Structure 1
């Protein structure tokens, strides 16, 4: 996903803001509490090439005298240290050949040696070097890891399963009673090597209706458990335990009921399709695994639908999101 252009907190320096054009950072940073201008920063003037200084002295053969238009004498070598000084390399500057590992002095910003492999980076570069984009930090918060999100979802499924055991237990027992004679006879014949399907007990007439009722109740319980907590705090019980929460990309504020319900329907409504040869389970599995293949924001399909992202909750702060109207909307891509 491409994050829209705008002024965001610099992931490499949270005390500053920079302009994100949708593909990379532009311009110089400004203080994080300063009011950013409308639109991108003004273009920086191109660097002015500087002519290399003439060496103070040269070493020439005995008796040699320069003539107008003549080149250096045979064996001429510049004195040690001669060459462009740091910061003097202009556009297109290329250093002379040197030994392996030789670091050129005065190379312009972003220079890389000829023949370097893709992704090459000099040793000792600081974090956030332009060769590798920094990890986004929405609203100054770290993205939640895959492990935390998986454990939080597992806790939520356990809670919802317990609720279904209480509310749906009687309907499940009735369904088992209606289908048990049929499956008992099927397994008996299978163990006896009998593959015939004649004279099998009939499944109860209410089995189909009971399946629909069970799935409707299970879906309603899941929605009642997840949607209110996500709307108010961006957290379910599992997310609170794992100290993560969902926030909108636009601003650090509560999701609200509409966004929380839209986010839940992507994963919750396929529960109604479980009886269709497991189609609902397949859709839910794809949604659950989708953050593994989304970069750089690790959004699941239900996050993309309503433009949310899951972040970690700092230990030293209150996990309840606040709506700071004094801050510009959107802190980082």
Structure 2
């Protein structure tokens, strides 16, 4: 498997990027945090032609071989045949580099190229993203318990008589459905109101914080951040809203036999199958990428060096 042409971080110098044309590095390196140009770098000027070397005089005719010596033009026994590699040299076309590019890890580079580092930062793992999302869900659930609690309680009152009677008949072995207490028409309206409020709370919690800093409360705790793929800058409200729409709006379809929940599950698992940037469906729509921020180590008194001179 060959590596597709493109701009990659130079493993020999992680602070730079170079263009890989499928067979080798070409062009001059650029800083790793700079936006690479579209396509390969401009071609370098051809080297100045070298003057022709003088032709050496013809060698004298070889003497007539004696018995046991090979005839002129015939390879010596044990020597490599024409077109075969010399012992100790790798096989392959002459002049073509063998193995990985310079600086790339040997063995397996073709099947698994070096992981990209958007804006010089490593990609966030799926586990860290999942923990951050679960924390955010817990916060949104707490907001719903406060704002949506009364509507949920009214819905439970509407459907409880129906399910209580269904359970009683099931325990008695009665499978009939006649005479079951039906929820009122208000139950359907309550479901719609609950889903609308839950969606609005999720939007109000996530979109403004993502637009300004690329981090919700959960992402801040875990140490991951969302950045545009084009530049290291805030997402902005429009990009943050597009990113949330793909994952948040299907909440309104929970009413349709859980269809919205299925769409959200597919979106949440999509980073497991995306390469090389591990983008979820909502990341692809907004052209964003989730990176892992470096962990800052707290300085303790033992870590501080004593000032020069005598200490009391």
CA RMSD of aligned residues (A): 3.8
Q: Which residue of 2 aligns with 1:58?
A: none
> Is there any run of 5+ residues in structure 2 with no aligned partner, and where?
48-64, 298-312
Q: Which residue of 2 aligns with 1:170?
A: 150
Q: Which residue of 1 aligns with 2:105?
A: 126
Q: Residue 44 and residue 8 in structure 1: after superposition, are their counterparts in 2 closer, same or farther (change >3 A)? A: farther
Q: Residue 196 and residue 64 in structure 1: after superposition, are their counterparts in 2 closer, same or farther (change >3 A)? A: closer
Further displaced range: 125-134 or 249-258: 125-134
| 2:94 pairs with 1:95 | no
Q: Give the SS at the match of 2:105.
A: coil
Q: Residue 199 and residue 28 in structure 1: after superposition, are their counterparts in 2 closer, same or farther (change >3 A)? A: same
For the 8 Å contact 2:140–2:201, the answer to whether it is kept is yes
Q: Which residue of 1 aligns with 2:41?
A: 40
Q: Which residue of 2 aligns with 1:209?
A: 189
> Is there any run of 5+ residues in structure 1 with no aligned partner, and where?
47-60, 85-92, 113-120, 318-333
| 2:167 pairs with 1:187 | yes
For the 8 Å contact 2:12–2:104, the answer to whether it is kept is no
Question: What CA distance in whole angstroms lies between the structure 1 residues aligned with 2:43 and 2:175?
Answer: 79
For the 8 Å contact 1:11–1:140, the answer to whether it is kept is no
How far does residue 110 in structure 1 lie from its aligned partner after superposition?
A: 3.0
Q: Give the SS at the match of 1:154.
A: helix
| 2:4 pairs with 1:17 | no
For the 8 Å contact 1:9–1:139, the answer to whether it is kept is no
How far does residue 248 in structure 1 lie from its aligned partner after superposition?
A: 0.5
Question: What CA distance in whole angstroms lies between the structure 2 residues aligned with 1:25 and 1:263?
Answer: 37
| 2:97 pairs with 1:110 | yes
Q: What TM-score comes out, normalization by structure 1 length?
A: 0.70
Q: What TM-score comes out, normalization by structure 2 length?
A: 0.75
Residues 218-233 of structure 1 aligned to structure 2 (within 5 Å): 218-233=198-213
Q: Which residue of 2 aligns with 1:55?
A: none
